[in-house]
Chain A
Amino acid sequence: MASSGSISAGAHGDPTRRDFLFVASGAMAAVGAIATAWPFINNLNPAADTLALSSVEVNVKPIAVGQAITVKWRGKPVFIRHRTPEEIKEAEDVKLSELPDPETDNARVTDTAKKVRPEWLIVVGVCTHLGCVPLGTKPGDPRGEYGGWFCPCHGSQYDTSGRIRKGPAPKNLAVPDYLFSSDSLVKIG
């Protein structure tokens, strides 16, 4: 019978068949462990019914020029603002180089059918800093120095296109996917 030394190492310390089997079965066990862990991790992702709730339809007809409303989409506020011509002009005139997160106003008011509607600004009302709801939708709310929204939590300021201008938030207010099925009906999500 071979000594244990000659089983675990070849004549010149070369890997033996047993070494190969150790590594191969160890690798399989690791793959198996990861494959088993995945369903547990994935289990915490949003469930099908949560995902199914992910669109809402809004009639925007009653929103007068200069007014904004908040609707709830996927548990979060979405701001729909009927912008005034001045607000649109202000948003369009900003130089991209002045923006922390450069994006044209046009790109932010385009629906999923690629139709541009500058009078309607639709943004997720969640501050990109740590998730507070910025003020500026209700009449009388402070709107910050750039006439858009002001986040009371840590002072982020957004412009009339919902772009971040000042404060700790790193990104513009997100624009959700939306589609106008007619001039007064918009589907968000």
Chain B
Amino acid sequence: MASQHGAPPVFNNRVVAWIDHRLPIFSYIEKEYHTFPTPKNFNYFWNFGAIATVMLVLMIVTGIVLAMNYQPNSELAFASVERIMRDVPSGWLMRYMHMTGASFFFAAVYIHIFRGLYYGSYKAPRELLWILGVVILLLMMATAFLGYVLPWGQMSFWGATVITNLFSAIPVVGDSVVTWLWGGFAVDNPTLNRFFALHYLLPFIIVAVVALHVVALHVHGSNNPLGIDPKGPQDTVPFHPYYTMKDGFGLTIFLIIYAGFVFFAPNWLGEPVNYVQANPLVTPNEIVPEWYLLPFYAILRSIPDKLGGVIAMFGSIAILFVLPWLDTSRVRSCTFRPIYKWFVFVLVIDVLVLGYCGAHPPEGGFVIASRLATIYYFFHFLVLLPILGKIERPLPLPPSIADAVLKKKAV
């Protein structure tokens, strides 16, 4: 097989050529993952898309084998997970990979989103690509929430109760909606059953949206740390072997850290009370979601009104859908935005503060801190971003990627 930049590939293997003539999958792989011209100046932030994809596959594979021993029945679920842990060969590993995998999947995706924020990857012509990403985030949150209910521990049960009850805030039909979600009058066996069916389904929908995300990506190609478009072959390198290697290297480091958690601290990120079987008559002292949902939980609780809290929580994610239109600056990368650059970091700190508040009972200082942080979160998107784009004076952009890269080398 040989191919040059742009020229259609020629396959020497006759079977491959025969198939490709009828179903051009090999041409597709060749074009999109081999010769695909990619900006030559990626940094390691550009690893996390590939890492997230690998984590998604890993979640599906571990999930399917867990499902072969898991019992989605409120009488049996808790014991079936304990059986997976103790009796099923390698069951403990499958479960710890799945449990810790969810955390690492979110970590990768959050870093991936930060990359998009800092380097302005959501700006034209990548608005739809970004929006598909936000859809993936929402689907992941739903999937993780549903999955967390399955082991039927105390936190599973009460987390499900509190989150489904959010819908009772909907005026008029709220209570009927909640009964409909539960399939009963409380979180119970019918709820667990349907949550399992949906937890099995949603990851495959995520796969489909990821496919669209990648198709959209390959229309205009990747953004890069300079945020300027490649102007010709001097600005790009073929995806393979350059970025397959770089992604492979980053992925290996990521997986080593992940394996460290799986083998040495699998429960470090979890809640011990979820190893107590669900009891509908006793609420645990404190209900906290998994770490990756804490900032949103803090926003929910910071608003003293039930409906208002729910709206603010969903709004905090929904606002990301319109981010491409809230940011009025024409410069993509924060490298050339001397003021906004700092506010991206302030936003990150703000979200960390929210996460910290979400992990603590809403009393005293935590209430005030989470209210201020919530206000700042919305202020960032709704006020700061539109205004800053107008008043900030960006640094001069380099004429081309090659130019900037070579100059850096020369210094």
CB-CB contacts below 8 Å: B37-57 with A = none
Q: Is A89 an interface residue (CB 8 A)?
A: no
State whether A130 touches B161 (Cβ < 8 A): yes
Check A182 for interface membership: any CB of B closer than 8 A: no
A50 contacts B306, C-beta separation under 8 Å: no
If A45-B183, A76-B280, A77-B281 touch, whether A131 touches B165 (CB-CB below 8 Å) is yes
- The reply to whether the CB of A129 lies closer than 8 angstroms to some CB of chain B is yes
A147 at interface (Cβ–Cβ under 8 A)? Answer: no
Task: Kindly list chain A residues whose C-beta atoms are within 8 Å of the C-beta of B183.
Answer: 44-47, 50
A70, B187: Cα distance in complex, Å: 18
Q: Are A74 and B306 in contact, CB atoms less than 8 angstroms apart?
A: no
A72 in contact with B281 (CB, 8 Å) = yes
Q: Is A54 at the interface (CB under 8 A from chain B)?
A: yes
Contact partner, B162, options A70, A132, A168, A170, Cβ 8 Å: A132
- For B, the interface residue count at a CB cutoff of 8 angstroms equals 31
Instruction: Tell me how many residue pairs across A and B have CB atoms closer than 8 Å.
Output: 75
Known: A130-B162, A132-B162. A75 touches B186 (CB 8 A): yes
Find out whether the CB atom of A170 lies under 8 angstroms from the CB atom of B306.
yes
Say if the beta carbon of A17 comes within 8 Å of chain B: no
- Chain A residues positioned under 8 Å from B286 (CB to CB): 152-153
Q: Are A74 and B280 in contact (CB under 8 A)?
A: no
Residue in chain A with minimal CB distance to B194 = A44
Contact indicator A133/B283 (Cβ below 8 Å): yes
Chain B contact residues: helix, strand, loop or mixed: loop
Q: From A44, A152, A168, give the contact of B283 (CB < 8 A).
A: A152
A50 close to B162 (CB less than 8 A)? no
Q: Are B190 and A47 in contact (CB under 8 A)?
A: yes
Cβ of A154 under 8 Å from chain B = yes
CA distance A152 to B282 in the complex (A): 11
Does B96 sit at the interface, judged by CB under 8 A? no
Q: A168–B180 contact, CB under 8 A?
A: no
* CB proximity to A under 8 Å, residues B275-324: 280-283, 285-287, 301, 304-306
B180, A45: Cβ atoms closer than 8 Å = yes
Task: Tell me, rounded to whole Å, the shortest Cβ–Cβ distance linking A39 to chain B.
Answer: 14
Instruction: State whether A130 touches B280 (Cβ < 8 A).
Output: no
Say yes or no: A46-B190 contact (C-beta < 8 A), given A132-B161, A153-B287. Answer: yes
Residues of B88-103 contacting chain A, CB below 8 A: none
Q: Pick 19 A–B contacts, CB within 8 A, sort by A.
A: A44-B183, A44-B194, A46-B190, A47-B183, A50-B190, A72-B280, A74-B185, A75-B186, A75-B187, A76-B185, A129-B165, A130-B306, A131-B165, A152-B283, A153-B162, A153-B283, A153-B287, A154-B301, A170-B306
Contacts of B180 in A (CB 8 A): 41, 44-45
Nearest-Cβ distance from residue B93 to partner chain A, whole angstroms: 34
Complexed CA–CA distance, A123 and B304 (Å)? 25
Q: Which residues in chain B, 173-203, are within 8 Å of chain A measured between CB atoms?
A: 179-188, 190, 194
B285 to chain A: closest residue by CB = A152
Chain B contacts to A: CB under 8 angstroms? 158, 161-162, 164-166, 179-188, 190, 194, 280-283, 285-287, 301, 304-306, 362-363
Measured between alpha carbons, how far is A41 from B282 in the docked complex, in Å? 31
Select the residue from B187, B281, B304 with max chain A CB neighbours within 10 A. B281
A172 to B180, CA, bound (A): 22
Q: Which of B161, B164, B184, B282 is within 8 Å of A46, CB to CB?
A: B184
Contact: B190 with A133, CB < 8 Å?
no
A45, A72, A74, A125 — most chain B CB neighbours (10 Å): A45
Asked if A46 and B186 make an inter-chain contact with CB atoms under 8 angstroms apart, the answer reads: no
Contacts A153-B287, A170-B306 given; indicate if A75 touches B280 (C-beta within 8 A). yes
A13-72: which have CB < 8 Å to B?
A: 41, 44-47, 50, 54, 70, 72
Residue of B nearest to A138 (CB): B282
Give the residue name and chain of the B residue nearest to A54 (CB).
B185
A130–B283 CA distance with the chains assembled, in angstroms: 12
Residue of A nearest to B176 (CB): A45
Tell me, in angstroms, the Cα distance from A50 to B74 when the chains sit together: 14
Contacting residues, chain B, for A46 (C-beta < 8 A): 179, 182-185, 190
CB-contact partner of B281 in A74, A133, A152, under 8 A: A133
Which chain A positions have C-beta within 8 A of B186? 74-76, 126
Given contacts A76-B280, A170-B306, contact A130 B165 (CB under 8 A): yes
Q: Considering residues B166, B185, B280, B301, which has the most beta carbons from chain A within 10 angstroms of its beta carbon? A: B185
Bound CA span A41–B165, Å: 19
**Which residue of chain B is the closest to A73 with respect to CB atoms?**
B185
A174 to chain B, nearest CB (A): 10
CA of A126 to CA of B162 in the docked complex: distance in angstroms? 11
- In A71-91, the 8 Å CB interface with B consists of 72, 74-77
Hey, which chain B residues are within 8 Å of A132, CB to CB?
158, 161-162, 283, 287
Q: Beyond the given A45-B179, A72-B281, A130-B165, could you list 4 further A-B residue pairs with CB under 8 A, ordered by the A residue number?
A: A46-B179, A77-B281, A129-B306, A133-B283
Q: How far is B158's CA from A77's CA once the two chains are assembled, in angstroms? A: 14
Smallest Cβ-Cβ distance to A125: which chain B residue: B281
- Taking the nearest CB of chain B, how far is it from the CB of A121, in angstroms? 18
Known: A76-B280, A130-B162, A154-B362. A50 touches B285 (CB 8 A): no
